[in-house]
Amino acid sequence: MFEGKEIVLGVCGGIAAYKAAELVRLYVKAGARVSVVMTAAARQFVTPLTFQTLSGRPVFLELFDPAREQEIGHISLADRADLLVVAPATANLLGKMAAGIADDLLTTTLMACKAPRLLVPAMNSNMWEDPICRRNVVQLREFGVQIMEPATGMLACGWEGQGKMPEPQEIFDLTRNLLGPRDLVGETLLVTAGPTREELDPMRFLSNHSSGRMGYAIARAAAERGARVHLVSGPVERAAPAGVELHPVISAREMHDRVMALVKDCSMVFKTAAVADFRPACRHAQKIKKGADLSLRLELRRNPDILAELGRLPGDRLLIGFAAETEHLREHARRKLEEKNLDLVVANDLTVEGAGFGVETNVVHLLYRNGKEEELPRMSKDLLAHRLLDRALSLRQTGTFH
């Protein structure tokens, strides 16, 4: 897949710049041709000679380079790229790109490039969480720029949190999918994501910790691979991925109605949402007052089981469910697969570190209708999304999984 491909790798000034050297090595080993563009700040951390030696090619540094001006450096780099990756990408680079500033070789090349662009941010966790940076990430994603979620852990600056550059191998695996075939052209996916909210009164609701990350990652990955994607999402704080049709809903019943209206045209369903099983028996029109009572009894009613209902529909669409469990993972997941008539259930144990709600990674166990099981190692939700789509395609093509 990498054989003969042109990858332009931008390196910004951050301590993670040293890891970009390993990334070049992985690309070159896989057969790609790599052109490295370094910002001035990157050269404070690693020398151009390191990248030149590993890529076997000159390293690009200056916007106006008399030796190369005949071919207009940034345009020829942008034109030749099959993929443009920036790793590490600093807060400065994200900000400049979101604002349309192109004042050096890397930012001009990024703006002139029509190939897929992947930014791999690495920075202090407070910078990553800063509202200005969040806004830039949302905006860039809306423009179709891929942004990998940073990893969480101990940062070079001494802080602990989200902001670490993911390992080169993970970046490499993700770029494989960006270069990969558009193998979902012709498929229409229905993906549900996030929690549902069941309102008690105008200011209170019942809900859960789902952040929507897994479902959004599947929707994004499927769109990248050429599928038409309907994303039915409960309330989450994230922007719809580029090219995806977003259907925002609040409650389980709204999600049910939207899913049922869309499903007829869909060939695959990923039921990632964490749907509330119950809702308050009545929604109070006014705020519930506590009065003198020391306790309050809530009466709840069952919500429709959307997935079970989908499993009873005729047709040969693929049905993929999720099971988040805190005990007896495989038994509960297998029971869900059978009761809801699924092709595949993606089970994750919420007690395992790096799995489940609100984290960037997931550790899942796959259970297939034919009795087969598969354990996947811990990986980013972006990468897992692609793995799940691979499995769905193989189920579609062969009717079974190996």
Residue 271 touching ligand CTP (CB under 6 A): yes
With CA atoms as reference, report the closest residue to 63 among 45, 87, 38, 44.
38
Min separation Cβ 136 and ligand CTP, Å = 32
Query: For the window 311-330, what string marks contact with ligand CTP as x by the rule CB under 6 A?
Result: ----------xxxx------
Residue 175 touching ligand CTP (CB under 6 A): no
Identify which of residues 184 and 324 has a Cβ nearer to ligand CTP in the complex: 324
Identify which of residues 10 and 195 has a Cβ nearer to ligand CTP in the complex: 195
Identify which of residues 211 and 303 has a Cβ nearer to ligand CTP in the complex: 303
> Which amino acid is located at 45 in the chain?
F
Query: For the window 214-253, what string marks contact with ligand CTP as x by the rule CB under 6 A?
Result: --------------------------------------x-
Cα separation, 293 vs 284, whole angstroms: 17
Binding footprint of ligand CTP, residue count (CB under 6 A):
14
* 157 among known catalytic residues: yes
Chain positions 82 to 121 lying near ligand CTP, rule: CB under 6 A, are none
Q: Residue 136 in contact with residue 94, Cβ under 8 Å?
A: yes
Interface residue with ligand CTP, options 62, 201, 277, 390 (CB under 6 A): 277
**Structure tokens given for 128:** 């990553």
Residue 306 touching ligand CTP (CB under 6 A): yes
Region near ligand CTP per CB under 6 A, out of 86-94, 114-122, 138-146, 273-281: 273-281
**CA dihedral over 137, 142, 147, 148, signed as positive or negative:** positive
Interface residue with ligand CTP, options 178, 191, 232, 275 (CB under 6 A): 275
Residue 307 touching ligand CTP (CB under 6 A): yes
Identify which of residues 42 and 320 has a Cβ nearer to ligand CTP in the complex: 320
Cα separation, 98 vs 272, whole angstroms: 30
Integer CA distances (angstroms), 299 to 199, 200, 278, in order: 13, 10, 10
With CA atoms as reference, report the closest residue to 108 among 137, 86, 75, 71.
75
**Cβ-based neighbours of 87, under 8 Å, separated by 6 or more:** 9, 10, 11, 16, 19, 20, 23, 119, 120, 122, 165, 171
Min separation Cβ 342 and ligand CTP, Å = 8
Interface residue with ligand CTP, options 201, 305, 374, 390 (CB under 6 A): 305
Min separation Cβ 311 and ligand CTP, Å = 10
Identify the H or E element spanning 394: helix 381-398
**Structure tokens given for 103:** 């004042």
Identify the H or E element spanning 10: strand 6-11
Region near ligand CTP per CB under 6 A, out of 48-56, 114-122, 151-159, 303-311: 303-311
Min separation Cβ 346 and ligand CTP, Å = 8
Q: Residue 399 in contact with residue 321, Cβ under 8 Å?
A: no
Identify which of residues 23 and 345 has a Cβ nearer to ligand CTP in the complex: 345
What b/e sequence results for 158-185 when a residue is b if at least 16 CB atoms lie within 10 Å of its CB, and e otherwise? eeeebbbbbebebbbbbbebbbeeeebe
Neighbours of 27 (CB within 10 A): 24
Min separation Cβ 211 and ligand CTP, Å = 15
Region near ligand CTP per CB under 6 A, out of 11-19, 165-173, 272-280, 359-367: 272-280
Q: Residue 190 in contact with residue 267, Cβ under 8 Å?
A: no
Catalytic, out of 12, 157, 266, 282: 157
Residue 273 touching ligand CTP (CB under 6 A): yes
Residues that bind ligand CTP (CB under 6 A): 252, 271, 273, 275, 277, 303, 305-307, 321-324, 336
Q: Which residues are catalytic?
A: 157
